[in-house]
Amino acid sequence: MMDQTSFGKMPDGELVKQFCLTNSHNVSVEILNLGGIIRRWLIPKDKDKHTDIVLGFDTVDDYLSDDSYLGALIGRYSNRISKGKFNLKGIDYQTDINLGDNCLHGGNNGFNKKVWKSTVLSSGDNPSIMLQLSSPNDDQGFPGTLSVKVIYTLTEQNSLKIEYFATTDQITLYNPTNHSYFNLSGHNSGSVKAHEVQILASYYTPTDKNAIPTGEIAKVDDTPFDLRSMTAISQPLSSDHQQIEYGNGLDHNLCLDSYIPHSKVATYVGKAVAIDTAINLKIYTSMPGMQVFTANHFVNKKGKNNTDYQAQQGVCFETQFYPDTPNQPYFPSATLEKNENFYAITVYEVLF
Ligand code: G6D
């Protein structure tokens, strides 16, 4: 089922629409055409009650003034590019700088702040919405006109499928993700420290104190990033490992063991479980990396239903290419060639 409502207006008056996708098990996902934001994800509980498993806001202004990308589609480049600089085929580029002296999540006016063209693809079983965006040449300093399409589908197996498509008229970078903050006990239930997680990654990319990768692809063995067996999030968060100190918690890219270049198949890469609600989230993707981030900087962030979000109130599983890839020759390439057809898929399956 698909229900379309008005969510609000942009400063220039453009309408922001909300699409509520509901399946036959009464799971609902609310998606905005602003930034492709996942605003609510409702898991049925008792009669007429539900658990909302993602953090979010209640107004357009809250989303436009947010610096944490709650629920948003990210582009052109998820995570960081060191000093916003990179070179493609001998040409140097400089992107917008919006975090220290680096570029984060495609610059200050990234895809999360854009109103995407929206088309309902299916309003019956497996409700589906297509969002499209044309990013012009030199948008935030990135080369080429990039035509992007993202299709969200809520399946009868309680999975949200996110498919990314893109083409460009000249060589560029493209590294998309969705930046949802999950709390499987409920967005307003406090810390996710008691969640248990598993991530099938034998390596990770250590960073400097500004979250820029050193270039090393390091083994997770004997580090807080070894999440290959179910681990309470509190465990890595309580580590005195230098990388945890740099991130002020978990805020690192894990190198997924399943990655096969140019694969179009979403492979199981991990899961999270809330012990109190027994809600499970399984993650599948075709992408090479996943930034695991525990909202370490939140302080009284006013969210939905007047909830104050604090540090570690959500956990992100941002499937993506590695950070700063254009400057790291040994990282899987995030370069998109002229007229190449980009495709990536991530699936979040909820069991309850
Ligand atoms: C912080 O380092 C983190 C990023 O990974 C995250 O995406 C952002 O907050 C919202 O900068």
Provide the residue ranges of all domains of the chain, joining segments of one domain with +.
2-351
Asked whether 294 lines ligand 1 (CB < 6 A), one says: no
More confident call, 86 vs 45: 86
| Mutate-to-test residue for ligand 1 from 67, 104, 299, highest number of ligand atoms within 8 A of CB | 104
| pLDDT band at residue 47 using 50, 70 and 90 as cut-offs | confident
pTM for this model (two decimals): 0.97
Percent of the chain with pLDDT over 70: 100
Per-residue model confidence as pLDDT tens digits over 281-340: 999 999 999 999 999 999 999 999 999 999 999 999 999 999 999 999 999 999 999 989
Q: How far is the CA of 301 from the centre of ligand 1 (A)?
A: 14
Q: Which residues contact 238 (CB under 8 A, 6 or more apart)?
A: none
Query: Which one is the CATH code of 2-351: 3.90.1820.10, 2.60.120.10, 3.40.50.300, 2.70.98.10?
Result: 2.70.98.10
- Check residue 10 and give its pLDDT: 98
Asked whether 68 lines ligand 1 (CB < 6 A), one says: yes
Q: ω before 39 within 30° of 0 (cis)? A: no
Q: How far is the CA of 349 from the centre of ligand 1 (A)?
A: 24
Task: Say yes or no to pLDDT of 46 above 90.
Answer: no
Asked whether 52 lines ligand 1 (CB < 6 A), one says: no
C-beta neighbour count of 92 within 10 angstroms: 8
Active-site residues, by number, are 179, 318
Asked whether 211 lines ligand 1 (CB < 6 A), one says: yes
Residue nearest to atom 2 of ligand 1 (CA): 251
Which atom of ligand 1 is least distant from the CA of 99?
11
Residue whose tokens read 């997680």: 197
Per-residue model confidence as pLDDT tens digits over 153-199: 999 999 999 999 999 999 999 999 999 999 999 999 999 999 999 99
Percent of the chain with pLDDT over 90: 99
Asked whether 72 lines ligand 1 (CB < 6 A), one says: no
Calculate mean pLDDT across residues 211-222: 98
Calculate mean pLDDT across residues 45-57: 93
